[in-house]
């Protein structure tokens, strides 16, 4: 028999996501009314900003940590989800949500992978510029930085003789949602000419829908998605 009950409030961004997953609006359904699946998570991601995405990750991690320290003698309740369960049941629930989110945002990278190394002047400047994208700095050194997220990994190495106007560094990123990537980059309002710059999305004759980004160090990133059968 449980000795006491702990009430928890669902954090704001997590609740925003769960509302996209709600399939039934009658109170009797409780937790079963929320079907957290890849399709519903993608719908939420299409409307979310980078800041909201990072907040959601932090909220889920914090909730996971809070649940992990609770004893088995208690029950955890949420009036928002109309659900009462043991800490173990809640942990399983949160881990499932985390795994689905991470699968979508970070598809597994094969052990054999070609990873571009681009030039930069300062790793900290790279982190600031690319903060508009869902890329995290997973390793930072005085002369090197590694960014990773959404199945993409980019390396940047410091080059003291770098000239952004003459550099020939480039790479191609094949993504699942080219419009979303373009929207993230549009938020920093880059010009369409010069360095840095951002081009419009174009349909290319080789079967790709793509755009080009030139960053402040002259690196050309061609970002594209295969055309669907209806395009």
Residue 144 CB-half CA count within 13 A: 7
Residue 223: CB atoms within 10 A of its CB come to 23
Residues (pLDDT < 50) of the chain are: 1
pTM tops 0.75:
no
Question: What is the predicted pLDDT for the residue at 23?
Answer: 86
- Distances, alpha carbon 81 to alpha carbons 35, 37, 44, 84, 85, in Å: 12, 16, 18, 9, 11
Token output for 186: 């549009």
For 7-32, how does the pLDDT look when each residue is reduced to its tens digit (9 = 90+)?
888 888 889 888 888 888 776 777 88
Question: What is the predicted pLDDT for the residue at 150?
Answer: 83
Question: What is the predicted pLDDT for the residue at 220?
Answer: 97
Question: What is the predicted pLDDT for the residue at 108?
Answer: 53
3-state secondary structure of 177: coil
User: What domains does the chain contain, in order, with CATH numbers?
Assistant: 4-105 (no CATH), 117-226 (3.10.180.10)
Beta-bridge partners for 214: 197, 220
Question: What is the predicted pLDDT for the residue at 155?
Answer: 96
Question: What is the predicted pLDDT for the residue at 106?
Answer: 61
Beta-bridge partners for 2: none
């Amino acid at each position: 028999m449980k000795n006491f009950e702990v009430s928890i409030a669902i954090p704001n961004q997590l609740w925003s996501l769960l509302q996209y997953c709600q399939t039934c609006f009658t109170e009797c359904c409780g937790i079963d009314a929320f079907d957290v699946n890849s399709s519903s998570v993608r719908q939420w991601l299409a409307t979310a900003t980078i800041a909201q995405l990072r907040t959601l990750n932090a909220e889920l991690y914090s909730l996971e940590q809070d649940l992990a320290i609770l004893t088995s003698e208690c029950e955890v309740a949420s009036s928002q989800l109309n659900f009462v369960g043991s800490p173990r049941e809640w942990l399983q629930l949160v881990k499932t949500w985390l795994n689905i989110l991470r699968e979508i945002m970070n598809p597994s990278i094969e052990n054999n992978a070609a990873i571009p190394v681009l030039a930069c002047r300062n790793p900290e400047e790279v982190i600031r510029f690319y903060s508009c994208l869902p890329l995290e700095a997973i390793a930072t050194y005085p002369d090197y930085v590694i960014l990773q997220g959404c199945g993409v990994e980019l390396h940047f190495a410091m080059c003291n003789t770098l000239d952004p106007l003459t550099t020939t560094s480039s790479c191609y990123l094949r993504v699942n949602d080219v419009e979303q990537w373009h929207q993230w980059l549009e938020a920093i309002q880059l010009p369409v000419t010069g360095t840095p710059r951002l081009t419009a999305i174009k349909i290319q004759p080789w079967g790709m829908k793509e755009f080009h980004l030139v960053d402040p160090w002259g690196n050309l990133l061609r970002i594209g998605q295969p055309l669907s059968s209806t395009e």
